[in-house]
Amino acid sequence: MADALPGPDIRTGRLSPDDYLENFDDLHPPLGTHEASVEADRCYFCYDAPCTIACPTSIDIPKFIRQISTGNPVGSAKTIFAENILGGMCARVCPTETLCEEACVRNLAEDKPVQIGLLQRYATDTYLERPDRHPYSRAASTGKTVAIVGGGPAGLSCAHALACEGHDVTIFDAREKLGGLNEYGIAAYKTTNDFAQTEVDFVLSIGGIDVQCGKALGRDITLAGLRKEFDAVFLGMGLPGVNALRAEGEDLNGVIDAVAYIAELRQAKDLAKLPVGRKVVVIGGGMTAIDIAVQAKRLGAEEVTIAYRRDRDAMKASAYEQEVALTNGVVIREWFQPKRLLGEGGHVAGIELERTAQDASGRLSGTGETVTLEADQVFKAIGQTFVPDALGGAEALSLDSGRINVDDDRRTSVAGVWAGGDCIAGGEDLTVAAVEDGKVAARSIHAALSA
């Protein structure tokens, strides 16, 4: 069957320049002043609001919405930043449909929640229009130093909170820019106009934060060295490893890590120069799978299929995100897992999928029934992994399933070392959860350094 498959059709410039601009414009156009006012008036301003309880960073949502309704978006933004300094990005990328908006009591009356995410974006965007202002000022220097490994949401959140307290912070990041997945791993149509870097600049403007990019833990710096040089260390390096498909033919050209491709797309100066296949298959069921599938379609792929081993209800991607994929012409095939990848001249040309089934206990197994799809590109979006080797064996950090164990204050098992974000055991793979980890860790670090 593999011999009958055509060669790969991967090309650049599948669309017109106007098509690229339209396809990668804002997924959710921002609210105008009148629209924000009308939407804010829909809020019941609940006491013990369930939306606030559902927010991982505990933003006082009724308060910030009331401030918008009274014509005070700057004050509203300050309310947001008090709990989530990356509130602008979270307004764009948080799955509000399964967090605050799902908890909105408006759902009971009319099945249409207040558009909390868009209101949060309206407030924070209004504030960030003036790059010369910041809601906080830095306290007098304490003389204490803290190393932050990883400049993603957890690291930025931790760094900002510690700098506010007067501690001297240094962020080390392996990449050329700070931002983590906000800069490199989120669909381009969710964060347009270089917003990730605008927000990084906003965070750093508090002062007291030194940035050293191109410095990877285990390559350029060591945990042992950081512990000697700094008074405290926060680890927020995310998940640099990639899970394997464990399928025959995985090493063929055209079998690509979805996160790496999204990173390339996010840094591309000209999307027309980014090659994409005519027929694309994505393996996975999370947000990354949706993001890469939709972006491949918007780059001009004719056929994009997501293959997931269980049903859509089990997908980590929310029902709303699945709908985004479907409305963009992506096909979602449930109950299929990769069995082998088929090649032509060393390049992937197709994928053989095996139908799956689960027993009463939920255990998954292959049924033996297979289907073959033509594919010029196959994207792996089945999760990332932590790489503990970078920590150095001598540090003896306690790990759970390959991730760092922490307590409720985000302390690790090693004195003077905290951690947060995706690299910790139980990490939720959400920007907003990472921000909360950084905030909680900073509070604990400040208490330790002040003792």
The CATH number given to whatever domain includes residue 59 is 1.10.1060.10
- Whether 178 and 296 map to the same domain: the answer is no
Residues 81 and 184 in one domain: no
Pick the last residue of a domain from 380, 405, 438.
Answer: 380
> Cα–chain-centroid distance for residue 47?
31
Measured between alpha carbons, how far is residue 106 from residues 34, 35, 60, 436 in Å?
Answer: 20, 18, 17, 26
- C-alpha to C-alpha distances, 129 to 77, 88, 134, 199, 390, nearest whole angstrom: 12, 12, 11, 11, 39
Could you tell me the pTM of the whole model?
0.94
CB-facing half-sphere around the CA of 443: CA atoms within 13 A? 9
Report the pLDDT value the prediction gives residue 1, as an integer from 0 to 100: 37
Among residues 331, 361, 380, the one where a domain terminates is 380
Closest CA to 332 of 278, 282, 262: 282
User: What angle, 0 to 180 degrees and rounded to 10, lies between the N-to-C axes of helices 258-267 and 287-298?
Assistant: 50
Q: Is residue 140 one of the residues assigned to a domain?
A: no
Domain-terminating residue out of 128, 153, 185: 128
CATH code of the domain in which 359 resides: 3.50.50.60
- Reference 325, options 280, 365, 361, 273; nearest CA is 280
Same domain for 42 and 122? yes
For residues 232 and 253, membership in a common domain is answered with: no
Task: Compute how many other C-beta atoms are within 10 angstroms of the C-beta atom of residue 172.
Answer: 23
Q: Which helix (H) or strand (E) holds 347?
A: strand 347-358
In a domain, 181, yes or no: yes
Please check whether residue 328 lies inside any domain of the structure: yes
Of 133, 28, 155, the residue nearest 81 (C-alpha): 133
Please tell me the predicted confidence (pLDDT) of residue 394.
47
Q: Are residues 297 and 199 in the same domain?
A: no
Torsion-angle region of residue 134: left (phi > 0), alpha (psi -120 to 50) or beta?
beta
Residue 205 sits in the same domain as residue 187: yes
Print the domain residue range for 7: 2-24+242-380
Tell me if 304 is assigned to some domain.
Answer: yes
- What's the Cα-to-Cα distance from 427 to each of 187, 269, 409, rounded to whole Å? 21, 33, 14
Quick one: 368 and 420 in the same domain?
A: no
Residues facing residue 279 across a β-bridge:
303
Same domain membership, residue 368 and residue 250: yes
Residue 389 corresponds to which tokens in the numbers above? Answer: 């080797």
Residues 311 and 365 in one domain: yes
**Single-letter code of the amino acid located at 4:** A
Q: Which of 152, 140, 139 is nearest to 179 (CA)?
A: 152
On whether residue 133 sits in a domain, the answer given is no
Q: With the C-alpha atoms ordered 411, 415, 416, 420, is the resulting torsion angle positive or negative?
A: negative
CA dihedral 395, 168, 170, 424 (to 10 degrees): 50
Instruction: Count the domains in the chain.
Output: 3
- Is residue 274 included in any domain, yes or no? yes
Structure tokens at 95: 């799955």
Predicted local confidence at residue 393, as pLDDT: 58
236 within a domain of the structure (yes/no)? yes
Q: Which residues contact 342 (CB under 8 A, 6 or more apart)?
A: 1, 2, 5, 249, 348, 349, 350, 351, 352, 372
Amino acid at residue number 61: I
Q: What are phi and psi of 395, to 5 degrees?
A: -75, -25
Contact 124, 88 (CB under 8 A): yes
* pLDDT tens digit at each of 451 positions of the chain: 344 567 789 999 999 999 999 999 999 889 999 999 999 999 999 999 999 999 999 999 999 999 999 999 999 999 999 999 999 999 999 999 999 999 999 999 888 999 999 999 999 999 999 988 999 999 999 999 999 999 999 999 999 999 999 999 999 999 999 999 999 999 999 999 999 999 999 999 999 999 999 999 999 999 999 999 999 999 999 998 888 898 999 999 999 999 999 999 999 999 999 999 999 999 999 999 999 999 999 999 999 999 999 999 999 999 999 999 999 999 999 999 999 999 999 999 999 999 999 998 989 999 999 999 999 999 999 988 888 888 875 467 899 988 999 999 999 999 999 999 999 998 888 999 999 999 999 999 999 999 8
Shared domain check, 164 and 189: yes
Residue 40 lies in a domain: yes
For residues 117 and 81, membership in a common domain is answered with yes
413 and 298 within one domain: no
Q: What whole-number distance in Å separates Cα of residue 402 and Cα of residue 310?
A: 24
| Cα→Cα distances 38→44, 65, 78, 115, 387, Å | 13, 11, 21, 11, 48
